[in-house]
Amino acid sequence: MGGAAPGTTDDGRMRRITQNLPPELVGRLLAAQDAGAIEAQLQALAAEGLQETYFKDSGNRAQGLLVDFTDIDYIDVHL
């Protein structure tokens, strides 16, 4: 996260997100896990999915935004 002003939409902060990830990304996550990916690699894939589906609304906004998926407090995954 970078130069966003505190309190703005792009300000880095704790978020509670409920989001379905695209099936192709879920497949990539499961394949990476099966191949022995480390947690940081899995987080990067999850960040990519959240970046595209949640933050960029599948290409409808925030085209230049990059998302870091860090300091995870809680994650609940349903397959």
What would the pLDDT profile of 19-36 be if each residue is shown by its tens digit?
888 888 899 999 999 999
Q: Which residue has the higher pLDDT, 79 or 15?
A: 15
Phi, psi for 43 (deg, rounded to 5): -65, -40
**pTM recorded for the entire structure:** 0.68
**Structure token digits, residue 31:** 């394949």
Of 65, 36, 40, 37, residue with least CA distance to 50: 65
Nearest-angstrom CA–CA distance, 2 and 57: 20
Nearest-angstrom CA–CA distance, 29 and 2: 26
Band (pLDDT 50/70/90 cuts) for residue 37 is: very high
